[in-house]
Chains A and B, each alone.
Chain A
Amino acid sequence: MLLISCPWCGPRDETEYHYGGQAHVPYPETPADLTDEQWAEYVFYRDNPRGPFAERWMHSIGCRRWFNVLRDTATHEVLASYRLDEPRPGGNR
């Protein structure tokens, strides 16, 4: 069981949250100009690092807000959690 800290509610059990996949995936600026391949890259292709990984979570049983979590995929250690309008701690990768 992960213990995740919601930026608004504090530490709560993982069962109170929903997972939302990789964070910081920007929406294409000109989606109409993308080739099918580029669109597929945007929609389906995600990083799968071993180590720190920024991902979205939602506190669905608490305040129902989305936020980002920096989690180590090898150890499951939750390194940081931060609001959507805050930059990723430690810069991007």
Chain B
Amino acid sequence: MRAAGVTGTRGVTLVERPFLTMLNLRVDPASEAAGRIGGTLGVPLPGECGRTAASGDRTVLWLGPDEWLVVSEGPAADAELTAALDGGPGSVVDVSANRTTLELSGPAARQVLEKGCPLDLHPRAFGPGRAVSTTVGPVAVLLWQVDDTPTYRLLPRSSFADYLARWLIDAMSEYRGPEVP
């Protein structure tokens, strides 16, 4: 992956950020338990497709109308959130082993993704702090834009990660040479 990195104005790099902690959270967003969980997280649960909410080193990504993924660098906070759920309908499950995280960054990162992602990733439609479930190439990923570089985090299921990394390395290779007019 490191060897496939490209520098310069058409630069793009790919690294893995392994072992992020991920919690799958399911709760009715209109319930009191959702409010308590929002209080514990320090930020309300995002209510719309593509939205994320960050609090400290934790980020809450929208997965569905009653489903979120809480991503963090630190230890899993599932006990804390289970306590906030307080036996109400819903679940908090540590799914850290479900996905891994690939980070694609650089001025050409969007062009690389656009080779295989059906979504509009132009800044008018997508930007930092947005995360959506979609496909890149044939692989289903959670695609999360972190900053304006642009830097994207791709969260594929672990068993698809090797293939996705190879797919991205192949897509990155053309940026090593000059732009073909």
Give Cα distance in the complex from A49 to B65, angstroms: 32
CB within 8 Å for A63 and B67 given contacts A8-B49, A9-B49 = yes
Task: Determine the interface band of chain B, counting residues with CB < 8 A from chain A.
Answer: 10 to 19
SS class, residues of chain B in contact with chain A: strand
Q: Mark A1-42, 1 if CB is under 8 A from B, else 0.
A: 000000011101101100000000000000000000000000
Specify the chain B residue showing the minimal Cβ separation from A83.
Answer: B65
Number of A-B contacts (CB under 8 A): 37
Q: Is the CB of A12 within 8 A of B63?
A: no
Say how far A84's CB is from chain B's closest CB, in angstroms. 12
Interface flag for B118 (CB, 8 Å): yes
Q: Is the CB of B140 within 8 A of A64?
A: no
Task: Determine the interface band of chain A, counting residues with CB < 8 A from chain B.
Answer: 10 to 19
Interchain CB contact (< 8 A) of B49 among A15, A61, A63, A64? A63
Q: Is the CB of A61 within 8 A of B132?
A: no
Interface residues of A in 59-93 (CB under 8 A from B): 61-65
Q: Is the CB of B65 within 8 A of A63?
A: yes
CB within 8 Å for A15 and B64 given contacts A9-B49, A62-B134 = no
Q: Is the CB of A15 within 8 A of B135?
A: yes
Give Cα distance in the complex from A12 to B118, angstroms: 8
Residues of B with C-beta under 8 A to A16:
118, 134-135
What residues of chain B have their CB less than 8 Å away from a CB belonging to chain A?
49-50, 63-65, 67, 118-119, 132-135, 140
Can you report 22 residue pairs joining A to B where beta carbons are below 8 Å apart?
A8-B64, A8-B65, A9-B49, A10-B49, A12-B118, A12-B119, A12-B134, A15-B118, A16-B134, A16-B135, A61-B133, A61-B140, A62-B49, A62-B64, A62-B132, A62-B133, A62-B134, A63-B67, A64-B63, A64-B67, A65-B64, A65-B65
